[in-house]
Structure 1
C-alpha cells in the first residue's frame, strides 16, 4: 500500500532578514543633478507637458508624477525644467545593475531603477546583510554617483516597504520578530494593491493604518473589498509573503504611452500616435523574441478619468500589421468617449506574452519569413537609429519618448 509522505508546512518567511530591496531615489532627476552641478539642491522637473520625474526638492512642493507640467510650475514657479535624456538614464541603470550583480548572483530586476537582491548565502564571504547593504549603497554613490535607498527584511514585500520608508538616501532593517511593530503604524497606501479606489473605500470605513486591517480580520474585510482583495491585504498586514527572489524572469507585458496635453486632437492625429506606439512595441517584441496574444488600449480623459479596452488575438504574433489592426479597432470603438470627454493620454500594452519559439507551429506549417517589412525596418533602425525610418503620419510629430527598460 502506498503511503504518502507528510505534507511539509508552507514557509511564509525565511528565518533571517536577508532580502534587500534597492531603489534609486528620484532616478531621472538624480541623474540630471549628478551631471549638472547647477541643479543640485534645487527643485528639478524632468519632462515638459507631463512631469516624468521630480527631485526631492520639487516633491517637497507637492509635485508628483505624472502631473501636468503647467500645474507643477504653478505649485513651484522656481522649478527648473529639463528635457529627458533616456540614453543617460539607461547608462546609469546599467552601471547600477553591474554593482547589484557584483554583490550577489541572485538579483531580480523590477525596473531600471530598482531590484530585489537575495544575500542569504553570503554571510561567510561577505558578512551580515546589513553590512552588505551599507557597502552596496557606498559603491553606487562612489561608482555611479547616485543616491539609493535599501530595505532589508525576511520577505520581498517588507523589504520594499522598508526601502520606501528609508527614502531618501537611507537604509532600513526590519529585524525578525519586529515586522508587525514596523508595519502596523504605516498608512494602508503602503500595501501592494491599495490604489486610489481601494484606499478611498477603506478610508470610508475608518481604516487608515495597516494595523486596522490586521485587527479587522479577513472575514470582515471581505464585506468591504471582496474575497480576493481581502485575502491578499490581510496576508500582507500579517507580513506574510512567501515569494522568493527570482532570476531570469521574463516580463509578462510591455507597454508605451504618449501624453497629448489638453488641446483637442483630431482622431486622425490620435491614430497616428497609435501607429507610433505600435511600431515601438513591435520592435521590442521582436528584439526580445516574444509574441503577444492580447492588445490593451488605455485612455486618460480631460476629466482625469480613465478607461481600458482589450482584444485577445486567436494566436500569438509579433506582426506589426496584425497588432495595429487590433489597436485601431479598439480606438474606433472608443471614439464616442474620446469625442465626448477629450483625451489627454493614450497608452498601449501587449500582454499574454509567449516566447517566439519556432517549434510552436500553427497552420499553415510554413517557415517563418526573415525578409518581412518588420524585420527590414527593425534592421534599419538598429543600424541608423530609431528615427531613421518613420511613418508619414508621424512626420512633424515625432514618435514620443521611449522609456528605457530592463533587458528581457
Structure 2
C-alpha cells in the first residue's frame, strides 16, 4: 500500500476517530509521521485503538485538552466535528492547517480524479459514474462520503485508475490543495445550517470543489440552478453544463432522448431510474463520463439496468398492489420534493426526524398527490401542521417505524405508493439514515 511521500508535516493531530480518523491515522503512522489522536469517547482498550497505539500513536481520550496541540503542525479532523470545537478554534488561532482526510488523499492519488458534490443526489450520481466507467472496462475505484474513506482507497490506486469520490460540504471545507480533474456540482440548496450557520458559509464550502481547478480541468454543473451560476465567474476550469430545462449544450434531454451536446445517447424510455431528480443525476453522470471518454455503449448498459442506490428512492417491494419506496436519505425538503415529483399515483408519505429549526412551507405545493401523512420524530407536530395547511386531513403521529408502516398500510388502497421520505435528518431517533431506512424495510417485510 502506498504511503505519503514528501509530506511537509511531521507532527499531526487526528481529531476524532471513526472510519475517516482511523484511516488517516493509519496512513500517517505508516508514512513515518508522528501522530497524536484525540477522541472524546474512544476506548483505549478496543482492538482498533490498541493497534494504533502499537504503531506509535499517542492517544488522548475522555476530553479535549488544549495540550494536545503542543508541537502539532497539522490537524486532520473528522468531517462532522464543528469548527467551534475548542481544539479546532485554537488550531486556527495558532495558524495550524485544519483539514479532512480527503486532503490526505490528494497527496496520494496519481490517476484521474472525479469528485461529486451537491445538496442532493451525490451518492446516486457518484455510483452511476463509477458503474459507467467500470462498464467501459476501465480501472476505477469508488471513494469518499459513500462508505469508502478516500485516503484509504487512494493507497491502493495507480496512475491509470480513476477514483470517483462523493464529497460533502463538511469534507470540502477541510481541503486546501484538493484538485479534481473532473468536478461535478449537482445543486445547491439550504442544508446543514446547524453546522455552517449561514447559507453563505455553506455555499462557499461547496464551491471549494472547483477552487483549485485550472483550465486543464472540467466542472460539470447544473445549468438550471441559479445559485451555482453565481460562482461560475470565479471558476478557471472548462465548464460543461447539464440541464433538464435547456437544450443543446452538455448533457440534456427532450421528451424522447438524452443527449450529450448534439449526440443522442439513448431513449429515456429505456432508463430504469424514475423521477426528475434522478434524471438530473443521470445527466450529470453522462456529462462527467463523456468528458472522461467513456463509450455510449457503457452508459446505455448501466442506465438500462441500474435501479438505484439503497435508501435513495429505493423500490422495496409490491405488496397487495401497494408500492413501497425507501427514500430515507431524503434528509431535507428538496430531496422529499423530488421524491414526490417522481410519482403519479396517490402517495402516503412517512416523514419526520431531527428538528433543525426548519419550516416546511416550501413542501406544501408538492403535497398535492399525498392522501395521508404519517409523521414521527422531533418535527412530527410541525409536519402535522404543514400537512393540514396543505389540505391533508388524514394525518397521524406515531412513535416507531413499525407503527408508521402499519398505519400507512391501513390507510392505503391498491396502486398507492407508501413512501418513506422524511425531509429531516435521522439523529433524533436513529444513528444514521441507513438505520432508519433498514427499519422501514424490515417493517414492510413484516406486514
Q: Same fold (TM over 0.5)?
A: no
Give the helix-richer structure, 1 or 2: 1
With normalisation by structure 2, the TM-score equals 0.28
Structure 1 length as normaliser, TM-score?
Answer: 0.30
